[in-house]
Structure 1
């Protein structure tokens, strides 16, 4: 019996850092709010470790050469490093700048008068280990009604970095300093600009295609079946963002609660994948969410076609 327990423990350790090939969900376990990105021609997913708030105090990362075979990088950041975070660490946004890798995150499900909000960590490698950059939140206060969560860091065409963020049906954009340690005013002197589109709830994301800004967000309740993703198209990163429509929502044959996504573009190709979480059929707990990937396509006019959720995910190995 002792030998059997030792063998099982060794197997668990090996599996924790092993590579694995898997269709949707692409990574085993409960993971949500996935941020997908390409670093050095390698695909990465940085998700929320989806658990009850008191247990949701760490982040894992996953890397892949082909969007099919994934390697787990466990506990790249946790609340032992982020001293001010005591619960509900979630929704990473990541970016590389000048050879450093930055990891933005929310913590503590902060309300007015509490310590928490959006933090920043930094590392020399995508897999970390990450260190708290500030020792405190970058944004702690509630401005324009937006809870400081669900941040997305965006690099504009001119090299300027902005951050879109916000829960509670409000979205702000702020301008980041070159070292990501503070917010800097816009030309008109304001620090926070509200850019909330129709029906916005949380989970902003932006990308540029054919010189147009695609702004995306989640609608509905994240704990329920009606979570979904909608989008707008603008000529400016500040909008106006006129809602076009929904492109991802529940499918009674596949899953419910499909939302809080990101988008991965295949390098040097006009090929896009949406990385998102969804709730398996029959699952009701708030934290029971899985990370999935499906192809995202456009029509001839540049509008996003409705995404079909699948169990197959990426159908072939990318080169």
Structure 2
């Protein structure tokens, strides 16, 4: 039976469009897949156009580069068909120790900031699946006497780009510096100290090399929030706290105590992750935990919802609920 008027054709086309973009799409039968625990430490999730992309430090072999896992719902994660690396040694800076990536989109390209050989580098790609490469295989900081790890690139509302990173100078300490607009290097201005381990929960073993690391920065309701992890990652007390500021350069006011720890999650070694907004705008913190109560590695990948409540003073308070915590699984046919 034909459609005899233009209005009918429009309705049919609209129905077909809705069918193909939503309800008529065949749902994946996940029962046909086997499940494996994801072992990606220092994880990060990049979200774009209905797909989540997860990257991290490969706990099986961090000497070759970074894998990428994808999901449409933050629950079912699959690897690329041929398990190829999103960033591979030889096409970007680094001979090993590929740690703590962050992926973002900027000026029509995808970028990965990461650590290799305990130095920070930035590679680019035309796809979040990679390959992320460099034309000049070099780290971001040149001629420095100290090691730098755990980069986080933050874009402020005024267009200024900041790099938060960990400088290893008497401990793992978090710094910030302005970046050039083309991401090729450091811009004008000093490297400014942000966070060092000064609170009892940040150095429970009272070591001579205190650790604060894994920075993530977001801006909400006019306030900057710097999330970080403290203690050595092998310490069961490895945990996540945050500090607030009215400027991306600080000074930073620490919130009292960690918000993610073994005390409120019930798992050892909770930390070093990143924040992602879900499709429903819900904020999540993706992180790693210890393998079990005895061994730290291989570290397991997990996720937890972040709750946010704006206070009367204009500064928000973040918290988590253990019931929203779950481990991430890889699905394989």
TM-score, with structure 2 as normaliser: 0.75
> Corresponding residue for 2:74?
67
> Corresponding residue for 2:243?
232
| Map 1:61-140 → 2, pairs under 5 A | 61-73=68-80, 74=83, 75-82=85-92, 84-109=93-118, 117-140=119-142
CA distance in 2, matches of 1:68, 1:203: 23
Shift of 1:98: 1.4
Shift of 1:42: 2.4
Deviates more, 1:165-174 or 1:228-237: 165-174
Provide closer, same or farther for how the CA distance between residues 141 and 220 of structure 1 changes in structure 2, counting only shifts above 3 A.
farther
Query: Deviation string for 1:105-162 (max 9, x for gaps)?
Result: 11113xxxxxxx111111000001111243111125557x6x3100001111112211
CA distance in 2, matches of 1:242, 1:173: 15
> Corresponding residue for 1:169?
172
Tell me, yes or no, if structure 1 residue 250 matches structure 2 residue 262.
Answer: yes
Shift of 1:238: 1.0
Q: Secondary structure at the match of 1:297?
A: strand
CA distance in 1, matches of 2:103, 2:253: 27
Shift of 1:250: 1.6
Q: Conserved in 1, the CA contact under 8 Å of 2:103 and 2:112?
A: yes
CA distance in 1, matches of 2:280, 2:247: 24
Q: Conserved in 2, the CA contact under 8 Å of 1:152 and 1:165?
A: yes
Q: Conserved in 2, the CA contact under 8 Å of 1:56 and 1:90?
A: no
> Corresponding residue for 1:264?
276
Tell me, yes or no, if structure 1 residue 49 matches structure 2 residue 52.
Answer: no
CA distance in 2, matches of 1:20, 1:166: 43
Shift of 1:308: 2.3
CA distance in 1, matches of 2:95, 2:215: 24
| RMSD (Å), alpha carbons | 2.7
> Corresponding residue for 1:202?
213
> Corresponding residue for 2:159?
159
The runs of 5 or more residues in structure 1 that have no matched partner are 1-18, 110-116, 315-319
CA distance in 1, matches of 2:111, 2:253: 31
CA distance in 1, matches of 2:50, 2:236: 35
Shift of 1:61: 1.1
Q: Secondary structure at the match of 1:280?
A: coil
Deviates more, 1:217-226 or 1:305-314: 305-314
Q: Secondary structure at the match of 2:148?
A: coil
Q: Secondary structure at the match of 2:317?
A: coil
Shift of 1:254: 4.1
> Corresponding residue for 1:317?
none
Q: Secondary structure at the match of 1:148?
A: strand
Shift of 1:197: 4.7
Q: Conserved in 2, the CA contact under 8 Å of 1:94 and 1:153?
A: no
CA distance in 1, matches of 2:177, 2:236: 31
Provide closer, same or farther for how the CA distance between residues 134 and 267 of structure 1 changes in structure 2, counting only shifts above 3 A.
farther
User: Which structure has the larger Rg?
Assistant: 2
Shift of 1:225: 1.0
Shift of 1:174: 1.7
Q: Conserved in 1, the CA contact under 8 Å of 2:173 and 2:197?
A: no
Query: Deviation string for 1:159-213 (max 9, x for gaps)?
Result: 2211100053322212222221111103xxx3x2222255461111101111211
Shift of 1:253: 7.8
- How many pairs align? 275
Q: Conserved in 2, the CA contact under 8 Å of 1:247 and 1:306?
A: yes
